[in-house]
Structure 1
Amino acid sequence: MRIVSGRYRGRIIQPPKNLRARPTTDFAKENLFNVITSHWEIEGVDVLDLFSGTGSISYEFASRGAGSIVSVEINAIHYNYIRSTAKTFGFSEIYAVKANAFLYLKSCTKQFNIIFADPPYDIEGSETIPELVWQKGLLKPGGWLIFEHSKNMDVSKLPGFKEKRCYGSVNFSVFERPEEP
């Protein structure tokens, strides 16, 4: 696993063997960030990374200059790894939160430019994440929710759906909050 671009481009991330996360593949991450950077200037954006796992997506946003990244992970080992790696890299913009991502969404009051959610594919209730984001108004106008899911899940009928991208076995559905008039 590596950081694809930005000031830490090419830096290898080697999580310990006791991390049980399923990190987004470098191939999928690189293609996803190509889509993101074709629409967004990442410098200064506020990002929420749900189900952070190894923190790979948070590190990628930090390397590219995001203003703030809230990295939510419930597993203590993963959470501590994210905190440690962010400190090692000097990513002061990453704020790790040890919490259940669903409960975090329900209690969050901050708005973000980009929300990335990569729940375990078999976790119950993952299909409710887009709805929770809309209900709580967590996206700034024009903001994106990027939802990683299995090929068996179809979220294209949900409000705000923009597009779906597939990279191998990895599927990303992008939702967009309309700009305000």
Structure 2
Amino acid sequence: MRIVSGRLKGRRLIAPKKLPVRPTTDMAKEALFNILNNRIRFQELEVIDLFAGIGSISFEFISRGTQRVTAVDANIDCIKFLTKTSEELDLDLDIIKSDVFEFLEKTTLKADLIFADPPYDLPTEEFEKIENIIRERSLLNEEGVLIIEHSKHTSLQHINTYSEQRKYGNSVFSFFKTQS
């Protein structure tokens, strides 16, 4: 896994094999960030990375100049890896150890972009719950976007705030707008 662009371009993220993660592939991540490059100014964003895992998405945002990135994951080994890597790279990453659903129910943070990469085998209702909590609690700023990464075997097009999706191999990025 590598950081594909920005000031940390080319840096490798080598996570221990024991971590229960399925990092976004470099190809899919590069495609996603090419889409975002044409839509947003990274320096002005506040980002929340849910199910952050090894932080591949978080570190990509920081590399591109995003000032505030919050990474949320429940796994203590992922949190340790995020903390160690942030320290080694001298990065300011807010790291929160929490169940994502509990975090969403309790947080007072708002973001311009929320990225969620839950386990692909999560039931569809749980994917819907992510969008529902974010919408009901108004966790996205005006003009904010939620992006959920999921398997090509999962469809989220029925959700009211759905706006589009992009497929890359087995991965799909579904985009949701702030207002329904």
Report the TM range for the smaller structure's normalisation: over 0.9
How many residues are treated as equivalent by the alignment? 177
Aligned-partner residue type, residue 32 of structure 1 = L
CA distance in 2, matches of 1:29, 1:98: 24
Contact 2:43–2:67 (Cα < 8 Å) also in 1:
yes
TM-score when scaled to structure 1?
0.94
- Give the unaligned 5+ runs of structure 2: none
TM-score when scaled to structure 2?
0.95
Contact 1:2–1:12 (Cα < 8 Å) also in 2:
yes
- Give the unaligned 5+ runs of structure 1: none
Structure 1 runs of 4+ with >4 Å offset: none
Contact 1:51–1:73 (Cα < 8 Å) also in 2:
yes
Aligned-partner residue type, residue 142 of structure 2 = P
1:56 aligns with 2:50: no
Contact 1:109–1:136 (Cα < 8 Å) also in 2:
no
Alignment of 1:5-16 (within 5 A): 5-16=5-16
**Cα distance, 1:17 vs structure 2:** 1.7
Alignment of 1:32-181 (within 5 A): 32-92=32-92, 94-124=93-123, 125-178=126-179
Once the two structures are overlaid, the 10-residue window that deviates more, 121-130 or 76-85, is 121-130
Contact 1:163–1:174 (Cα < 8 Å) also in 2:
yes
Deviations 1:130-167 (A, max 9, x none): 11110110000111100011112221121221110000
RMSD of the TM alignment (CA)? 1.0
Contact 2:128–2:159 (Cα < 8 Å) also in 1:
no
Q: Residue in 2 aligned with 1:17?
A: 17
**Cα distance, 1:69 vs structure 2:** 0.7
Aligned identity (percent) is 40
